[in-house]
Structure 1
Amino acid sequence: MAERVTSEGVRTLDTVLERYGSTNRPQLRVADPDAVPTGEVVRLVVDDTEYRARIEADASGNAVLRGAFESPRLARTPGEGENHLRAWLQGLDLDYGRTVHLDVVTPDYKYGVRAPGERATYAATDAPDEGLASIARDLDG
């Protein structure tokens, strides 16, 4: 069984809730873009459920999270699956410009999001070794 960690016991990064695109969809801009692996698919815990998310770079080079999906393939092709991050953000009813916390559960591998003032508990999953991760990417690809 995986060890459990709380949001108080992990590094927390601030993100800013912003709008993007012509339809003003929500995104989370990471305040410290060097703290996350831009261009990679990571595990993202949203409301106690683990999904896959692609950390992207916007036109200005900022690291942003725009979705959380059921699989790595859907995270790479977001128009095909349900975006659980968007649904969660809309359910929070936060104003744009507000801070949302991004907890670093396992650096470069697993993160969690939580609303301001909330606490969370995560399963501390170790990242697979690079060889296994490469095989998994090839199978998903």
Structure 2
Amino acid sequence: MPRVASDDESVAAVRVSLARSGGTRRLCVRLPADTALEGRVESGSCETLSLTDGNLIRLDVDRSTYHARVAADTEGRLLRGAFDDRRRARTPGEGRNRLTEWLAASDREPGDSVVLDVVVPGEQYGLRLPGERAVYDAVREPRSSLTDIAERLDE
């Protein structure tokens, strides 16, 4: 599997803000609207984040790979958590939320920003603190039909 650094020209880096959302009021990552990406891409080229409400993605945080579900509220799309496997990402009350743990350990507050790296659009993203560098194992998922079969077998 190819390794790619966050400063590689193939990786688009987008500054995203942290906010509180939902009844728990835990920190989450607020994703910009695709139309708002112009001028926010720090490196690489990114036509779209390819993230829609309900999508499950791989999310690399602090040298570990987790799974996250894209959610939406009245203000737009967001990531509320990162979990050890896809099942826990679909039912987030069951596992440890690695995203909130990382944000707490990094002393992040609402309004602060982090960098969202687009490693494989629609499939794999990375989060890092501004100014830091990360290296990702870029992995493409199997074709959608194979993924759908595997998810049905998991259930």
Query: TM above 0.5, one fold?
Result: yes
CA contact (8 A) 1:100 1:114 kept: yes
1:45 to 60, 64, 81: 60
**Aligned residue number for residue 27 of structure 1:** 28
Provide runs of 4+ in structure 1 moved above 6 Å: none
Structure 1 residues 110-141: Cα deviation after superposition (integer angstroms, max 9, x where no partner): 11100111110000111211121111221234
Residues matched between the structures, number? 139
Provide the aligned C-alpha RMSD in A: 1.4
**Aligned residue number for residue 97 of structure 1:** 111
Structure holding more helix per residue: 1
**Aligned residue number for residue 12 of structure 1:** 13
What one-letter code is carried by the residue in structure 1 that aligns with 2:6? S
SS at match of 2:131: coil
Structure 1 residues 45-81: Cα deviation after superposition (integer angstroms, max 9, x where no partner): 1110101100111123x11001011111100110110
Alpha-carbon distance between aligned partners in 2 of 1:23 and 1:137, rounded to the nearest angstrom: 29
Identity %: 45
Structure holding more strand per residue: 1
SS at match of 1:35: coil
What one-letter code is carried by the residue in structure 2 that aligns with 1:19? R
SS at match of 2:149: helix
Asked if 1:130 is matched to 2:155, the reply is no
Alpha-carbon distance between aligned partners in 2 of 1:17 and 1:96, rounded to the nearest angstrom: 5
SS at match of 1:54: strand
What one-letter code is carried by the residue in structure 2 that aligns with 1:43? R
In structure 1, list runs of 5 or more residues that go unmatched: none
Q: Which shifted more, 46-55 or 31-40?
A: 31-40
Q: TM-score, normalised by structure 2?
A: 0.84
Q: Which shifted more, 34-43 or 50-59?
A: 34-43
Structure 1 residues 13 and 139 mapped into 2: Cα distance closer, same or farther (>3 Å)?
A: farther
Q: TM-score, normalised by structure 1?
A: 0.91
In the TM superposition, residue 26 of structure 1 has moved relative to its aligned partner by 0.4
Alpha-carbon distance between aligned partners in 1 of 2:18 and 2:142, rounded to the nearest angstrom: 31
